[in-house]
Amino acid sequence: MKKFFFSFYSALTMALTWSIAIYAQEKKPNIIIIYVDDLGYGDLGITGAKGVKTPNLDRMATEGLILTDGHCGASTCTPSRYSLLTGNYAFRNKAAILPGDAPALITPETPTIASMLKRSGYNTAVIGKWHLGLGTGNINWNGYINMGPKEIGFDYSFLIPATGDRVPTVYAENQRVVNLNPKDPIQVSYGQKIGNRPTGIENPELLKMKADLQHSNTIVNGVSRIGFMSGGESALWKDEDFSLIFTQKAKAYINSNKNNPFFLYFAFQDIHVPRVPHPDFVGKSSMGPRGDAIAQMDYYTGELLKTLDSLGIAENTLVIFSSDNGPVLDDGYDDKAVEMLGNHKPAGPYRGGKYSAFEAGTRVPTITYWPSKIKPGVSNALFTQVDLYHSLAKLTNSKLNSNEALDSFDALPLLLGKSKKGRKYIIEEAFTLAIRNRNWKYIHPVSMATPEWLNDKNVEAGLSKNVQLYDLKTDPSERNNIATIYPKKVKKMQALLEKIKADYTRKN
Ligand code: NG6
Ligand code: CA
């Protein structure tokens, strides 16, 4: 009897534990990060856009939570993506914009959001722009690319290897170039010209739009690129199809993972240059290709949300929407972004944009959306994407190791709208470092002059030999440098910056 009771009892315990485990498994929410390229603070209807409508994002923002002081890690792509995926500041690894043939910047010793979520039972994917380097040097585009998303925690990948304006102009799925004919192998060069394809310098008459010198190398699909490429004819992409193809891949991925927790990092190529939206979107805005690309991005964001609804998993999916850096108009191609701007303000009320240490470099649209869990609202709390790592670990009950996401704090209550408390400080990385502490903004002086190519494009880089201090409460557009009036505040901000640089240990 005792024996029977014992085995009955243990069977019951086992069944209970089992069902709790399954329940917990089922309850793990899916997570999607929708990451737009170069979208500015003021580029959405809800944040004041003129000349383009973004109904899907406006709806997402009104039904979800919109953060008005949300920042990416840096004012350019590679460093922002690096800090988002690793939870470490990009300056720790000197991360800067990478050429298209750069080796992988993140290697398996560094944990990523993807490897952390995988550890907690998630299936993980990246679809879209990568720009974090691939391979281990001298990359072979004609076989398995031996270092990439897979090695750092992504189960599935479908990528633009670098950017739309850099070669190679092909997709890679699970680290193999899609549709490659082995008899026509790909070679890439960021130095001398290779192959017979025309270039923008030699054959400008073949171009859909004129380009600056850096973007005047190999022509593919009527667009000259940065870098030279030969071979791979059957694998070449059509820029017009980027968002459509990424969305198709994302739909297929979500569909095949609807019954298990998944993490999807969905990285648009929109609205980066070259801006070549699909004919379906041409003329959708009054701002030319840049505005049309915003409309396209908005439409496909809507398609992703619809997919969640139609599969009945929207209530169990946290969607985070943001951008990798602030806006830029002329970024190398003559696509009339400047001429057709009208009264649209891509950076909203803020100064600067992409490449800049001023606010608009990193202050970008930030929305969290989760129908069953996040109440509609607006939060003015200070937030940085560097904190996504720790926050998502909290969300999924994943324990962080001592070497993991060292600059990342838990901002989950803020992201779910349960707390109004923001970060005490954030770092804004540009060609220098800037730091925000509540309404104060300090920009560290640099001896370098603003690079000529930024001046040519009218980019306000925010670089100065002098210390800069702004009070964003009274001066949100950083016009009055008050560093000499508040020397003590300057000292305090400098000391804080030094402390952060020196403190590379796990946070809370
Ligand atoms: C710059 C390119 C710019 C863009 C940027 C990367 C020049 C003069 N400019 O170097 O066109 O490609 O790199 O953009 O070459 S990002 O959003 O990926 O950081
Ligand atoms: Ca970018």
- State the DSSP string of 380-444: EEEEEGGGHHHHHHHHTTPPPPTTS-TT----HHHHTTS-----SEEEEESSSEEEEETTEEEE-
**243 CA from centroid of ligand 1 (Å):** 20
Ligand 1, atom 13, lies closest to the CA of 97
Residue given tokens 């690079």 in the structure block: 451
Ligand 1, atom 5, lies closest to the CA of 97
Whether ligand 1 lies within 6 angstroms of the CB of 429 is answered as no
> What per-residue confidence (pLDDT) applies to 27?
76
Q: Where are the domains of the chain?
A: 28-186+231-423, 428-502
Whether ligand 1 lies within 6 angstroms of the CB of 165 is answered as yes
Pick the CATH number of 28-186+231-423 from 3.40.50.740, 3.40.50.300, 3.40.1350.10, 3.40.720.10: 3.40.720.10
Q: Which two tokens stand for residue 135?
A: 């391979």
Is it true that 28-186+231-423 and 428-502 share their CATH fold?
Answer: no
| Ranges assigned E (strand) in 231-328 | 262-267, 317-323
Whether ligand 1 lies within 6 angstroms of the CB of 214 is answered as yes
Whether ligand 1 lies within 6 angstroms of the CB of 118 is answered as no
Whether ligand 1 lies within 6 angstroms of the CB of 335 is answered as no
Query: Taking Cα atoms as reference points, which of 139, 164, 72 lies closest to residue 363?
Result: 72
Whether ligand 1 lies within 6 angstroms of the CB of 248 is answered as no
Ligand 1, atom 17, lies closest to the CA of 77
> What per-residue confidence (pLDDT) applies to 24?
46
DSSP symbols for 58-110: HHHHHHSEEEEEEE-SBSSHHHHHHHHHHSS-GGGGT--PPPTTPPPSS-TTS
Whether ligand 1 lies within 6 angstroms of the CB of 496 is answered as no
Whether ligand 1 lies within 6 angstroms of the CB of 468 is answered as no
Residues of the chain with pLDDT under 50: 19-25
The number of the ligand 1 atom at minimal distance from the alpha carbon of 163 is 18
Ligand 1, atom 10, lies closest to the CA of 97
> What per-residue confidence (pLDDT) applies to 507?
85
Domain 428-502 has CATH 3.30.960.10: no
> What per-residue confidence (pLDDT) applies to 21?
47
pTM here is 0.95
